[in-house]
Amino acid sequence: MYKIDREFTKKYLSVLLDFSKFLIQRTSALPASKENRLNTFFCQLKDTCNQNIKLINKQKSLSNEISINPNIVFAYKNPEDHKRKFHISIGGKIKIQDSIIIEQSLCVNVILEHTKFCTSLPEEWQCYPVEQGFHILRRFHFDYDSRNDDYSKPKFHLQYGGKLRKEYFDFKELHYKLFQPIDYPRLPQQPHDIIMLLDFLLREFSLDGKEITEEKRWNELVIKSEQLWLKPYYEELMTRLNCSSRHTPLHRIKL
């Protein structure tokens, strides 16, 4: 059974602490982020994790929200269009209640920047405003929600689109055309945390500084996060798959 409890929360905060320390030491090897937010966030996260671990060790009840606010934004060179500016952002939060992680919501955005120096937009892009500004082309949520029951709504799920809070960005003209009120479908999805997502983003979008993902320490920390989040998830799935007497479809299980 997948169980996120105080011990899990403490172990994960420890992994986040080690990852934050590593990133702070290797700032020069990381991809540049808008206003150096990557480094700023992980400096703050290091202090937060230290404080939270101390509270848990003292058997004190911890309730806290770790928020990536504002989003961490990276410049992205789109191999299909060198004439325009693209950006990748990551944001979200981890909510801890009574020393247990009860929610983790991480979002990844693909953003087009339109300027007066750009050529006319292609016809298939005309759904986006042509005035100067930033346009969210893709938005993905990787969520964990302990309140879901894995029957009507999977605890670990992926959403496309969803509600956008513009205050999490400091772009003057931010346009978002995806239909915000629709929260469905929630697609069952393996757990993702900020460590795994950063590893994925650096590789998938070939961001400057992705070479750090080849370093031994980086991969040790990614693996530690995978072992915490993924090992119990896939063990439970394999147990269910191998059960000859089960009568419940795989994606309607309590993890």
H/E element, 218: helix 216-241
Q: What is the pLDDT of residue 116?
A: 72
* Across 104-110, average pLDDT: 96
What's the start-to-end Cα distance of the chain, in Å? 6
Residue 1 predicted with pLDDT over 60: no
Supply the pLDDT for residue 119.
66
pLDDT (0 to 100) of residue 240? 82
In this predicted structure, the answer to whether residue 193 has a pLDDT above a threshold of 80 is yes
**122 prior amide bond cis, ω within 30:** no
Q: Is the pTM of this model over 0.85?
A: yes
Question: How large is the average pLDDT for residues 87-104?
Answer: 96
Residue 184: band (very low, low, confident or very high) from pLDDT cuts 50, 70, 90: confident
Residue 221 tokens, joined: 């920390």
Q: Find which of 14-23, 59-68, 155-164, 182-191 is predicted with most confidence, using mean pLDDT.
A: 14-23
- Looking at residue 131, what is its pLDDT? 63
Q: What angle do CA 105, 103, 97 make, to 5 degrees?
A: 140
Residue type, 184: Y
